[in-house]
Amino acid sequence: MRIAVCDDDPGMLALMHRLVTCEFEKRHTDFTIKAYSGAKKLLEDFKEKPFDVLFLDIKMRGIDGFEAAREVRCMTDETEIIFVTTEQELVYDSFDFQPFAFIPKTPPEIMKNRLSRTVGNLLAKYKVSRRICIDLPYNEKMYIKPNDIIYVGSEKNNLIYHIHDGEEILVREKIQNAEDLLPADLFIRIHNRLIVNMSHIESIDYPQGLLTVTGGETLPISRPRKQSLSDAYDRYLRMLL
């Protein structure tokens, strides 16, 4: 993940760089971060290689945060923009640029807590929206968002990816390959031959060892995996709060 922080106040730029770095490091995320004291250089670099996340001050000399966001949105809708500013009355104006969040400049400890929640939500969204690559027969590839997958089933030496629109993708792989590929905080193995997307769980019947997914299909839960499913699903639900 490529991250940029932009603020024309040297002290605030250093603080934001430190806080953002800390939040991503403690979540063991693979990322690079670059600090900019002005939006002109940021946009020049962005045109060469877009950033995944921008932390932008709004009131800056030269090109301000809104102008920078407008140029970014002319290039891509994929970059997440997070405005960081003292100008809280501008929060509604910022909606024109589809921001992911708006962080007021407050005392560092309060700002750190707000930033921590924002980064947590950002990474949760990134994991379900970032496309993964599935290797198909004849050296073809398919790119798909993890949240489009309801569950993955294993039959002999084949995997079947069950997609939300009813499509089924057949590949010749072991189920361990799918387990390694899919985000661990979204998918859980409920059986030796089944991996389920927790966002598509409609109901769980632990006594009967059955789980119902989007579309009404019922899947078996193996006895040894009931506790790990319960723990993982509790963590998933807490993440949504």
CA distance to 31, 120, 121, per residue, from 24 (Å): 8, 9, 12
Rounded-to-integer distance, Cα 143 and Cα 59, Å: 39
Give the mean pLDDT of the chain: 90
User: Is residue 241 over pLDDT 60?
Assistant: no
Calculate mean pLDDT across residues 207-216: 96
Q: What is the pLDDT of residues 130-151, one digit of tens each?
A: 788 888 887 888 888 888 999 9
Domain ranges of the chain: 2-129, 137-240
The pLDDT value recorded for residue 60 is 92
pLDDT digits (tens, 9 = 90+) for 49-77: 999 999 999 989 999 999 999 999 999 98
CATH superfamily of 137-240: LytTr DNA-binding domain (2.40.50.1020)
pTM over 0.85: no
Q: Check: CATH 3.90.1170.50 for 2-129? A: no
**Predicted pLDDT of residue 94:** 74
